[in-house]
Chain A
């Protein structure tokens, strides 16, 4: 008999629960990724109640998405759904001049990479653009890549990143700035004018 066995299940087991339409799947997801989901939602929305609601919406969306989806990584799949939901909620709030969080700051930072025009050239397939960004990140150092993903996918505050990566916040900002410039240069080199 295993002692001190972690009651939380592995991602594969949780996905299997979703596929067997067992509601235990949601409870297990909350136990395993609840704190993470709340943190990402809060980073985007900057409001505890909104974040809590967004996380709950995410669980429901997950229940509807799996099956038919069978994600390789439950965490990444959850992040994608949660992020979309949170950003949509952010857009609604922003129209009413409410909310906050890290989004305005992230948007300001990313404005160095994109021109913020309405135009999206037809030949810029989203998939190809994503592949370019993925290629770029793969060539970055592990630290720079980690900072970029934590900042612009999970929208974590730079102060939190500074603590996690054991560097000063100013250095985090500097690294992110350099990474964005390099990304812009690479995208331009590949023919993208965003």
Chain B
């Protein structure tokens, strides 16, 4: 083909189909480059300052026990090491008055908060942590309190001597100290809802109707029931009440009813805080934060709560419970449970 023919042919090209989609490059003004550099720097600084560090260091100490007046309260450490520099920088401003000192650690109230649900801890190296209420420890001598008192070397003999070792703390006392609740008027609502247990458990399959109660009369009765309750002694066998799938009662077929009738009982306070307990109507037990069982409800109180929460107490086949602690074995078939009469508290 002649080159001239080819050149002529190119003139017939449909430029719209083959046209450049962008205009030719133009020189960017200097200020654009400067602004881009500034934005990049700003972005880098923001990431450094506002985002948590990429490497997360696990805290060895996940739980701390401190003395508040003559009681012991355990707190969970929210991960200090994953806080951003911005959050760390703000923490000293958020610390209120000193609550207690143990050895070289100082515990502060959160500024502006009247309760003790969150605390700020500054350790000997100046590291700051936020603590969240975990449990109100029963009297010394129960549970693992003895080891908790000695493992950090925090508690002096004077500290230990100041502890109330005779009277168990009531739930009302814990609520007053930790949540600042002193009367039923400070309860806003109660909500009974599904318990989210471990995966594969009966709790995860059972269908539950959530019920919210707001009438003051019910709130007052519930408050009256909860306030005098005391923690159950771990060393004392709750004859029929243990809910764990590895319990003898479970293996006999009682526990599945416990699982399928269990409810999260969430009390919303007027302060906005929420207190969640797990309620086991089949056994008349309440458990706080999955760790602390309280002594049994009276039969009348238990039946009232069952009605209030509209819980169907008839046993239904929701499948086999799986207990991973026991290699997935559980109760193949559950017989109709026998609910024993609770003892008088």
List A residues at the B interface (Cβ < 8 Å).
72-73, 76, 79-80, 83-84, 87, 91, 103, 106-107, 110-111, 113-120, 124, 126, 129-130, 133-134, 137-138, 142-143, 145-146, 149, 152-153, 164-166, 194
Contact between A73 and B16 (Cβ–Cβ < 8 Å)? yes
Q: Which residue of B lies closest to A194 (CB)?
A: B1
The number of inter-chain residue pairs (CB within 8 angstroms) is 94
Contact between B6 and A113 (Cβ–Cβ < 8 Å)? yes
**Quick one: CB contact mask for B1-27 with A, threshold 8 Å, 1 for yes?**
111111111111111111111101111
List B residues at the A interface (Cβ < 8 Å).
1-22, 24-27
Partner of B1 from A106, A107, A120, A164 at Cβ < 8 Å? A120
Query: Contacts A117-B1, A120-B1, A133-B13 known; A138 to B18 CB distance under 8 Å?
Result: yes
A and B contact pairs by CB, cutoff 8 A, 17 listed: A80-B12, A87-B8, A107-B4, A107-B7, A111-B3, A114-B3, A117-B1, A133-B13, A133-B18, A142-B20, A142-B21, A143-B24, A145-B18, A145-B19, A145-B20, A153-B11, A166-B26
Contact between B7 and A87 (Cβ–Cβ < 8 Å)? yes
Contact between A146 and B2 (Cβ–Cβ < 8 Å)? no
Query: With a CB–CB cut-off of 8 A, which chain A residues contact B17?
Result: 134, 138
CB distance from B100 to the nearest CB of A (A): 69
Query: With a CB–CB cut-off of 8 A, which chain A residues contact B12?
Result: 80, 126, 130
Query: With a CB–CB cut-off of 8 A, which chain A residues contact B19?
Result: 145, 149
Top 10 A-B pairs ranked by shortest CB distance? Answer: A146-B20, A137-B18, A83-B11, A194-B1, A142-B20, A142-B22, A134-B18, A114-B6, A107-B3, A114-B1
* Alpha-carbon gap, A116 to B3, bound state (A): 5
Contact between B25 and A166 (Cβ–Cβ < 8 Å)? yes
Contact between B7 and A194 (Cβ–Cβ < 8 Å)? no
* Alpha-carbon gap, A76 to B13, bound state (A): 9
Q: Which residue of A lies closest to B21 (CB)?
A: A142
Given A130-B14, A164-B24, 11 more A-B residue pairs with CB atoms under 8 Å apart are A80-B11, A87-B4, A103-B7, A110-B3, A114-B2, A119-B1, A120-B1, A129-B9, A143-B25, A146-B24, A149-B13
Contact between A134 and B24 (Cβ–Cβ < 8 Å)? no
* Alpha-carbon gap, A130 to B11, bound state (A): 10
Contact between B16 and A149 (Cβ–Cβ < 8 Å)? no
* Alpha-carbon gap, A165 to B22, bound state (A): 12
Contact between B8 and A120 (Cβ–Cβ < 8 Å)? no
Contact between B14 and A134 (Cβ–Cβ < 8 Å)? yes
Query: With a CB–CB cut-off of 8 A, which chain A residues contact B16?
Result: 72-73, 76
CB distance from B98 to the nearest CB of A (A): 67
Q: Which residue of A lies closest to B25 (CB)?
A: A166
CB distance from A118 to the nearest CB of B (A): 7
Q: Which residue of B lies closest to A119 (CB)?
A: B1
CB distance from A113 to the nearest CB of B (A): 7
* Alpha-carbon gap, A13 to B229, bound state (A): 90
* Alpha-carbon gap, A9 to B24, bound state (A): 25
* Alpha-carbon gap, A103 to B6, bound state (A): 12
Contact between B2 and A116 (Cβ–Cβ < 8 Å)? yes
CB distance from B33 to the nearest CB of A (A): 15
Query: With a CB–CB cut-off of 8 A, which chain B residues contact A91?
Result: 4
Contact between B11 and A110 (Cβ–Cβ < 8 Å)? no
